[in-house]
Structure formats: structure tokens, C-alpha cells
Amino acid sequence: MSNLGFALEGAWKVLAAGLILGAGLPALFALGIRALAFGAGGDAEVNGGRPHRTGKVMAYALFAIVILGVLLGITFIVASGFGKTISFEHIVPTIVDK
Amino acid sequence: MSAALRAGNSCRVTETTVILALVVITALGFDFTNGFHDTANAMATSIATKALRPRTAVALSGALNLAGAFLSVEVALTVTNAVVRIKNANGTPKASLTADGGEALLLIVLAVLVGGVVWNLLTWLLGLPSSSSHALFGGLIGATVAGLGWSGVNWNGDGSKLDGVIGKVILPAVLSPVIAAIVATAGTWLIYRVVRGVAQRFTDTGFRWGQIGSASLVSLAHGTNDAQKTMGVITLALIAAGDWHSTSSIPWWVKVACALSISLGTYLGGWRIIRTLGKGLVEIAPPQGMAAESSSAAVILASSHLGFALSTTHVATGSILGSGLGKPGALVRWRVAGRMATAWVITLPSAALVGAATWYLAHLVGGLAGAAVIVALLVAIAALMYGRSRRTPVDRTNVNDDWHETQREGV
């Protein structure tokens, strides 16, 4: 296989991971903000709706998922500094030797 | 051993030591320019949307780069192996290059660094975010061709893996801004779609926080990646001069010096480049800023996980462009984007030319005098460019001023 083949093979993997983590997590964060506004009601929403408690709960659940994603990123940076990497082989991320 | 020969030997040793000192100082200088050239990658959007005050942003980014540089325990000695043939597979320099006490290799390394610094300063003066890694690789290719001939460069690899100048430098540079732009476009579009109906006052506060978090990740990743390159170059020089023998560890003072140098550079902030990326390319709102930095962080981390080396600068620029494409009706200045693309295309050959010319000059003068001449020349050029930059200063007070496309930034 030529260099171009190897590069395209790497590129689509980076694109897939990028779309899930780099566009998916921000979208979840946006959902969290929307839920928070729904929870706050009043002038947080354009239509000035009533406050809803469920909105707040949903918002914090979504923010928790986003924070987990960020922690995964930090773990990867720290781990690769020590010559380790994160394996997704068993779905649950585990730190293994490179 | 006769007295004369002994005197000659000790003279050579001192000469090598002085050249080595020049290499180390120039390498730290390169690391410093690498720092301020790349502050914009992480912090331009946060400064433009006022998520962080300019001074806070550069301080945060500098601190995270410092932390990141100390986190990298791995040795990046083989970083140049994919591009030039000056080292054995284990990272030690080839015996033929160190036969004369290491001077031949030290001169090549010095010319590489001079080429890299000159190109970094020129692009900074013009406010263009070009890749520091490309400047380094360009200088490396130029000085190697000059010193060892065309066969000293690994152009296309052997077809067994992603390798050579084309595989490790050119293809990633073409693909990475496109990937980052697609991710950021998707992210921006999704975010604006999801928060439709939420008051802007409310979203702006939330996304500013998201922006700070994602920009911090980019800074940390930058510290681990980029400081390591200079650590590798300095360690290579030390091995060439016979002052260090391990290829699996680096001297602690090299690590401390490189970490401090890159974080100081980051803290200084390349305001000219921050302005271009934050205000020039796209008019950025907090949701776009968060989408851009998340895309950068995800693409950089995913690619380093997959061993697909990308330039932080190319990724960050692609992401910011994408955040303009994903927001309906957003303003994207294609002329600015075109100028950046031009700078990227000419970075590699230009740094190569500077590196080659510098090597010829040093070689012509020869030995310690040659090394001293090119370092003196570098200092003169740096002073000239700094003087030029003072005519139209950009700093934290005017970094966010409105962008007028008619104005000539820099020169």
C-alpha cells in the first residue's frame, strides 16, 4: 500500500473519533445548556417558559457525561506521557503499555 | 601521545563544547518561538469571545504547557527518523557523522534550528499561524540535503508504513485541516440547532465555560507534544558531542529548560497570531469557540492515539474555519484563509532554503567560527524583525479590535 493509502486509512479513523468526541460531546453539552434553561425558565428561554425541576436534573446528568469524556482525554495525555496508552478493547477504557 | 597532538585534541574538545552550547541555546530559542507561535491555537477563540481576559488566557495556557512538558517522560529521539537519515534505528547518530567529535552533526542541527527560528519569527511578524513542526522539518530537510546530499532525506518511505517526508509531513498537513474543519462544522451546526430557543445571554455564559475547558485540553496536549521535540533535538546534540550516552532517557536539565522555555514563550503570547486566528478568520461567538476547541482537542488526541502525527496549528486553524462554516450566516474571511494556506505551502520549502543556506555559510567559514557566524546572523535577523514589529505593535490591549480587511497586518 502507498503512503496515500496509509494516510487515508488513518484519516478516516481520526475523522470518526473526532466526530464522536469533538462534535458529539459539545452537542451533549449544548443539550445540557438547553435543559438547564428549560429548568430555569423565565428569561433563560426566548419564549419565557415556566421553570421545570426535571430540566435541572437532566442538565447535570448531561454535564457529567461530558466531564467523563474530558477526563478520558486528560487520562490519555498523562498516560501517553508515561509511555502508556488507553485500550478500548474491552469497551471500558483501560490503561495499557504502548 | 605527543604534547602537540594532545593540545590539538583538547582544542577540538573545547571547540565542540562551544558549538554544543550554541546548539543548546538556539534550540531553547526555537522552543520559545514555538511557544508564542502556538498560544493562539488554544487561546485565540477564548480571547476573542472574552471567555478569558487576554492576560488570564496566556497565563493559563503557559501553566498547562509547563505541566504538559513535564508529563512527557517518553524520549522523542526518533522524531526525525521518518524524515532524514542521520541516525540509526535506535536514535543514536550515525558513526560517520560523529567521527570528528560530532562537529559535522552539530553544524547540521544548528543550521536546522536557525532555519526554524527565522521562519517562525517571519510568520509571527506577518501574523500568520504556520506550523512550528513544519519549520523544524523544513530546516532539517534543507540542512540535510546541503550537508549529506539528496539521498540523506527519506522522501517517500519504503511503502511498508506511513513514512518519509510525504507520509509523515505533507499528507497529514493536507488532510488535518480538512478533518478538523469537518468536525468543527458538524459540532457548530449541532450546537446552534440544539440551543435554538434558549436566550443568548444564557447560552453565552454556559459556552464560555465549555470553551475554557476545551482550550485547556488543547494547551496540555500541546505541552506534551511540542516540548518533547526540542528535548529530542538537544539530547541528539549531546549524544553527538559525546556528553550523553543513553537513548532511553534525557538529562533532567534539558527537560526543565525546555519546559520553562516553551511555557514562557506561551505566556508571552504571540498576539499578532492570536489576533489573526481569533478576529481575522471568523467572527467568533462562544458556541463556535467551544465547537472549535473541542474539535481541535478531539482531533489532536485521536490522531496521537492512532500514531498519525498532526500539526496543532493546522488542526486549530481548520477547526476555527469550520466553526464559521457551521453557523448559518457567519462571516468567514476567505482572503485571510487563503493567506494562511499560502503560508503553509511555502513553510516547508522556505525553512528548507534557510536551513540549507545557513549550513553552506557555516560550512564555508568552518568549525566554531562558522557556528558563531550563523548564530550572530540569527540574532541580527531576530532583532531586525522585532524592531519591525514595534511599528505596528499588537498586544493584549488591542488584540480584540475590529478587523479591517484593508489594513496590512504586520508589514
Tell me: the pLDDT tens digits for B119-141?
999 999 999 998 888 898 888 88
Of B334, B329, B345, B322, the C-alpha closest to B281 is B334
| Yes or no, beta carbons of A44 and B171 under 8 Å apart | no
C-alpha cell at B388: 519591525
- What is the distance between the alpha carbons of residues B237 and B243, in angstroms, rounded to a whole number? 9
Residues 6 or more apart whose CB falls under 8 angstroms from that of B409 comprise B126, B127, B272, B275, B276, B280, B392, B394
Higher pLDDT, B64 or A40: B64
pLDDT given for residue B77 in this prediction: 61
CA distance B327 to chain A (A): 14
Nine-digit cell at B83? 524524515
Q: Å from A79 to nearest chain B CA? A: 9
Residue of B73, B158, B191, B231 to mutate, testing the A interface (most A Cβ within 10 Å of its Cβ)? B191
Are the beta carbons of B73 and A36 separated by less than 8 Å?
no
User: pLDDT band at residue B265, thresholds of 50, 70 and 90?
Assistant: very high
pLDDT beyond 60 at B266: yes
Q: What distance in Å separates the CA atoms of residue A59 and residue B195, rounded to the nearest whole number?
A: 13
> Is the torsion defined by CA of B82, B317, A27, B67 positive or negative?
positive
Cα–Cα distance measured from residue B184 to residue A8, given in angstroms and rounded to the nearest whole number: 19
- Does residue A14 or residue B76 have the better pLDDT? A14
Residue B14 covered by a domain:
no
Q: How confident is the model at residue B169 (pLDDT cuts 50, 70, 90)?
A: confident
pLDDT band at B192 (very low <50, low <70, confident <90, very high): very high
pLDDT at B74: 64
Whether residue B159 contacts residue A1, with contact meaning beta carbons closer than 8 Å, is answered with yes
Q: What is the pLDDT of residue B78?
A: 57
A contacts of B201 (beta carbons < 8 Å): 43
**Helices assigned H by DSSP within B281-366:** 286-305, 312-326, 334-365
Which residue segment(s) compose the domain that B177 sits in? 20-389
Which residues 33-72 on chain B approach chain A with CB closer than 8 angstroms? 68, 71-72
Residue B307 vs residue B8, higher pLDDT: B307
Distance from CA of B395 to the nearest CA of A (A): 31
Give the A window 59-88 contacts with B, CB below 8 Å: 66, 70, 73-74, 76-78, 80-83, 85-86
In a domain, B133, yes or no: yes
B207 near A CB under 8 A: yes
Q: Which of B72, B162, B210 comes nearest A81 by C-beta?
A: B72
Q: What pLDDT sits at residue B188?
A: 96
Percent above pLDDT 90 for chain B: 46
Q: What per-residue confidence (pLDDT) applies to B237?
A: 87
Show the cell assigned to B98: 560523529
Q: Which residue has the higher pLDDT, B45 or A80?
A: B45
Share of chain B above pLDDT 70, in %: 91
DSSP H/E element including A14: helix A3-17
Looking at residue B409, what is its pLDDT?
Answer: 47
The answer for B 224-253 residues in CB contact with A (under 8 A) is: 224
Q: What is the pLDDT of residue B150?
A: 86
B313 vs A43 pLDDT, higher one: B313
Of A65 and B77, the one with more pLDDT: A65
- Of A30, A46, A74, nearest to B194 by CB-CB distance is A30
Query: According to the model, what pLDDT value does residue A1 have?
Result: 57
SS3 B320: helix
* pLDDT given for residue B11 in this prediction: 60
A16: distance to nearest CA of chain B, Å?
A: 9
| pLDDT at position B35 | 93
Q: Residues of B with CB below 8 A from A13's CB?
A: 302, 306, 308
In a domain, B326, yes or no: yes
Are A25 and B197 an interchain contact pair (Cβ–Cβ within 8 Å)?
no
Question: What is the pLDDT at residue B411?
Answer: 36
- According to DSSP, the residues that pair with A97 across neighbouring strands are A84
Count of positions (residues) in chain A: 98
Q: Does residue B262 fall inside a structural domain?
A: yes
Determine the pLDDT at residue B56. Answer: 94
**Rounded Cα gap, residues B37 and B57, in angstroms:** 15
Q: Is the pLDDT of residue B101 over 90?
A: no
Name residue, grid cell 517518553: B74
Q: What is the mean pLDDT of residues B330-356?
A: 90
Give B359-403 pLDDT, tens digit per residue: 999 999 988 999 999 999 999 999 999 999 988 888 888 888 888
Residue with cell 534539558: B254
Check if the beta carbon of residue B140 is closer than 8 Å to that of residue B74.
no
CA distances from B161 to A2, A9, B82 (A): 8, 11, 10
* Assigned C-alpha cell, A86: 488507553
What is the average pLDDT value for chain A, to the nearest integer? 84
CB B213 within 8 A of CB A49: no
Q: Looking at the complex, report in whole angstroms how far the Cα of residue B375 sits from the nearest Cα belonging to chain A.
A: 33
Element (H, E) at B307: none
B304 vs A contacts (CB less than 8 Å): 80
Say what the ipTM of the complex is: 0.87
Of the residues B305, B314, B320, the best mutation for testing chain A's interface (the one with the most A CB atoms within 10 Å of its CB) is B305
pLDDT for B299 beyond 80: yes
Q: Would you say residue B401 lies in a domain? A: no
| Local confidence band at B303 (pLDDT 50, 70, 90 cut-offs) | confident
Beta partners for residue A94, in sequence order: A87
pLDDT band (50, 70, 90) for residue B12: low
Nearest by CB to residue B213, choosing from A13, A17, A70, is A70
Handedness of CA B183, B48, B122, B81 (dihedral sign): negative
Interface of A with B in 34-63 (CB under 8 A): 34, 36-37, 40, 43-47
* Cell numbers describing residue A91: 469497551
Contact indicator for A41, A52 with CB cutoff of 8 Å: yes
